[in-house]
Structure 1
């Protein structure tokens, strides 16, 4: 099966009146399955008329919208390869990728994107530049449709028949937490196999339910998600923007959506903030509901009293949460980074079923996922049935199966580094498997050693720190240093709330040195350190004044830390942490639990003891 075949199957089995929808001039414009196919076929005819040949590369630089999907499938039908790009890249980044991929045609969404892309396109002599929005003087995507009207129908049919399931249908450039982006070549089989397997995890009713889409479509997580919705005949509604999600949820009343942990963290923090502003009695009820939620275990019956209290909390508190999400949510898929277990517990207690999964661009993407009938909070779920997973050196997760990429575009050397001759892909993630569930313990490339020679796994501490309402973001540092430290982006609203009356004007540089402020964060650090090994305890912290964002370069578009970039930007701050500190000593190993140490840590312990 080819990827575009899924929409034809929807037309034959469950045609929808709202296969795709988005907001236009304040109203939801809907495209039926049949209308969508007519547009896609006419676009395909236009691409042939304009000289696009099998294997040619076409880029889309746009937010999620129906036209994005129409162009994607039109490309697939004529054998062209889609190279989707983030709308937030710099002109130089566009030029680098467009040149490497040898792109022949580009579709952009609006004037802002057009300005950034046009400069790179001009340098590369790419004249075929089209916009989705109407922009005076620019060519429109509708011009491609007009070019194909009444032409090339037989040619498109021949192209469709010649497309093989093992042909590359897209090259996804990973944003990367460091280094140059890599072009991941994915075939129809790669993505379709993941789509069909994901259907087993879904609880949606075929042909009846709706999905809201707001994550970037050029990321394989949301792109595969779109084809999962097509496969199960769910109407796909594209949110206007991240800022309008709350309103769009109430309007669309979706049954599902994909998200990333960072967005759920922000939702939770807003909920907590509103709860703290309630009257005394209501605040007491709210806090009791949160406490019940934090102790929730979907796999455990906690007794009549707990269940009765949870029922009351659902009626008085959690029902309002579900209503804010539209009132129809059956399941939420969460991926791209680690979800805090406490958030999973609270949302599940509230009847909001957040299913954490795990995957990479190179695996199309899902490797494992929690399911409604098989859940373990803190894990990323059970491995998909059509995949094999094993643990390699240093417990690196390795995967084999039909969704594993064909390779990196124009980079055979790197392909050979991550793909073994017998087809195993090295994910770079460290994990463990317990009772059939996969757990991610860290990112192999993000593990670092202190000068004492012991490994530090930063994500463990970072995730625990972010549980604090005082902390927006955190990054553990200390590679090659005597001890770990952490950079913290504080939640300034909450800091000021807890120190009410202390500051009339906020001068961050003075404030972060204040003993009262530092005491707040030291308390959070002490809480986290209690759960860390002696060698991994964080001894210092520094507060950072500005949040890390994709726009300012410290985060990838999927909200992962670009550690190298942050280290460079915060070099002067890091220098203050490690200046004039005492040397690493055997005292750092006091009270270690020998039975919990790894072989490497035991070896290092023996070396230090001999000194």
Structure 2
């Protein structure tokens, strides 16, 4: 079922909820639109683009955060027969200009004045961009750019489109009918850590397959309510929209990550997809808050989590829990778990995790409290989804069985190969890079090291990220990093380093909220800033204790012998994290090269 079919099938059903500012303060309220209303706006956008000269297979860029207008603009581009070039709002002006130029985009949607300024600053290099459409009307004032015919508002584009539809009522239907399965639908540029990003060409068939696979899995139905905050410039966010169209459930959409915890009890979704960092932050926050309360509450919490983990392990092993365990779990649920689920709105049946490895300890905690996290796996080159756990087939520590219609096998060197209708056409304007990852018989070389056990896929590391120490031992850093995140409730990010070195070291950042909560209990540390805390010997000793626990379960060559706590957390804005919150390993290693080198000076640690 495509977008127009969904509109015809359920025009009165709710499609999207979105936040709107009310009054002059910070107050917001959530409003909604139906599929019919979303369709009317998308058709107006499509017709407006056509009126401005957009033709079939032209590229139109979207430079914006996740919001309702992003989805409508994307639908409009597709309904005009064109293809969407996605650009993260955090992309700097130089790289944004490269993406727009390399993609051959002829127009661009931007969120606001900030994104518009990027394009204005690079206008000399954007000769192909004929028009820029801004979602939020430019703010008046002395700093405002003078009006010109290069920029129009989204409202003006929709007005233009509605006028065109009066003249040509069947314009959208005609253009959609001409779309073939192998036509380009989306051009997503991978966030490379070195050099220029590569444009991944994804067709209409790849997204149609992803939607059909979600239907075949059967974990969601039309009565669900999804919460969507993931970057829509990323394939992970985009694939969550595809399933929605096919199945027909409503989606609450707001890409502001700081608003996530506030919004969940208001929206009360039934499921949500997220990156591991979101679950880790909640995990840390819950543990720190209950620990700070201390006394009986903390003892009850620890007892309940122990019971919950025991129940989770029984389910994982396929065992029927004993009557005693089931009774204890009911008590734990009433005393603790029900309150924890209320933080998510009380209706969350489960979550999907992707883009990076999720710590099994964190996954088991959420499973224990009754919110299973279904870890999945995919690449932009395979339109986000290749495998995922199911509610009825869930194995913590794996990324689940292959999606229906996808094939997976392990090469001789341990690399995972995928063949699927979800795999890209290739890299835009880059046949050499395409040939390097796509075999002649259609297998995608993923670059990930993996094993398949009883049909379940387990990723052990990125092929290029495997560490080979100077002693010739191989270390999988992501496995060690995931274990540490499950052990230490204070960690925000950790990067294990050791390529060509004689031992492994780590760069660690701490969660500011969790650290301040712990420091409030230490008389000598109360009132100190984050920067002061991470330099304190007490904090270093705290982290060292957790590293000792980690090392106790590792092989000698895997152990972290030295570490440094960084003075601030890693961020998307500084280019250290991808928009889906994955650490850019090479960028961080280069940025903190002096810190890493200092840990190896004059040492013979083995």
Q: Do Structure 1 and Structure 2 share a fold, with TM-score over 0.5? A: yes
Q: Pairwise mapping of residues 242-321 of structure 1 onto structure 2 (< 5 A)?
A: 242-295=257-310, 296-297=312-313, 298-299=315-316, 300-321=319-340
Choose 11-20 or 329-338, whichever is displaced more: 11-20
Partner of 1:572: 594
The alpha-carbon deviation at position 378 of structure 1 amounts to 0.5
Partner of 1:488: 508
Partner of 1:59: 61
Of the candidates 126, 134, 139, which is equivalent to residue 131 of structure 1? Answer: 134
Question: Contact conserved, 1:40 with 1:73, CA < 8 A, in 2?
Answer: yes
Question: Contact conserved, 2:183 with 2:204, CA < 8 A, in 1?
Answer: yes
Of the candidates 190, 200, 205, which is equivalent to residue 189 of structure 1? Answer: 205
* Aligned-partner Cα distance in 1 for 2:80–2:529: 59
Partner of 2:157: 144
* Aligned-partner Cα distance in 2 for 1:279–1:520: 19
TM-score, normalization: structure 2? 0.91
Question: Contact conserved, 1:16 with 1:233, CA < 8 A, in 2?
Answer: no
1:473 maps onto 2:493 in alignment: yes
Question: Contact conserved, 1:203 with 1:330, CA < 8 A, in 2?
Answer: no
Q: Pairwise mapping of residues 443-592 of structure 1 onto structure 2 (< 5 A)?
A: 443-467=462-486, 468-491=488-511, 494-495=514-515, 497=518, 500-503=522-525, 506=528, 516-582=538-604
The alpha-carbon deviation at position 259 of structure 1 amounts to 0.7
Partner of 2:245: 230
* Aligned-partner Cα distance in 1 for 2:111–2:413: 44
The alpha-carbon deviation at position 70 of structure 1 amounts to 1.9
The alpha-carbon deviation at position 152 of structure 1 amounts to 3.5
* Aligned-partner Cα distance in 1 for 2:386–2:12: 30
Question: Contact conserved, 1:61 with 1:86, CA < 8 A, in 2?
Answer: yes
* Aligned-partner Cα distance in 2 for 1:72–1:309: 50
Question: Once the two structures are superposed, what CA deviation does each residue of 1:277-296 show, in whole Å capped at 9, x if it has no partner?
Answer: 22511221112122223332
How many residue pairs are counted as aligned between the two chains? 579
Question: Once the two structures are superposed, what CA deviation does each residue of 1:339-391 show, in whole Å capped at 9, x if it has no partner?
Answer: 11112212112111211111111111111110011011100001112011000
* Aligned-partner Cα distance in 1 for 2:329–2:64: 43
Question: Contact conserved, 2:284 with 2:490, CA < 8 A, in 1?
Answer: no
Question: Contact conserved, 1:195 with 1:227, CA < 8 A, in 2?
Answer: yes
Q: Pairwise mapping of residues 60-459 of structure 1 onto structure 2 (< 5 A)?
A: 60-125=62-127, 126-136=129-139, 137=147, 139-148=152-161, 149=163, 150-206=166-222, 208-239=223-254, 241-295=256-310, 296-297=312-313, 298-299=315-316, 300-459=319-478
Query: Counterpart of 1:10 in 2: which secondary structure?
Result: helix
Query: Counterpart of 2:495 in 1: which secondary structure?
Result: strand
* Aligned-partner Cα distance in 2 for 1:558–1:321: 25
* Aligned-partner Cα distance in 1 for 2:531–2:33: 53
Choose 506-515 or 78-87, whichever is displaced more: 506-515
* Aligned-partner Cα distance in 1 for 2:215–2:193: 30
Query: Counterpart of 1:23 in 2: which secondary structure?
Result: strand
The alpha-carbon deviation at position 522 of structure 1 amounts to 2.2
* Aligned-partner Cα distance in 2 for 1:333–1:67: 24
Structure 2 gaps of 5+ residues are 22-27, 140-146
* Aligned-partner Cα distance in 2 for 1:405–1:54: 20
* Aligned-partner Cα distance in 2 for 1:140–1:493: 40
1:24 maps onto 2:20 in alignment: yes
* Aligned-partner Cα distance in 2 for 1:272–1:565: 31
Question: Contact conserved, 1:17 with 1:30, CA < 8 A, in 2?
Answer: no
TM-score, normalization: structure 1? 0.90
Backbone CA RMSD of aligned residues: 2.0
Question: Contact conserved, 1:177 with 1:561, CA < 8 A, in 2?
Answer: no
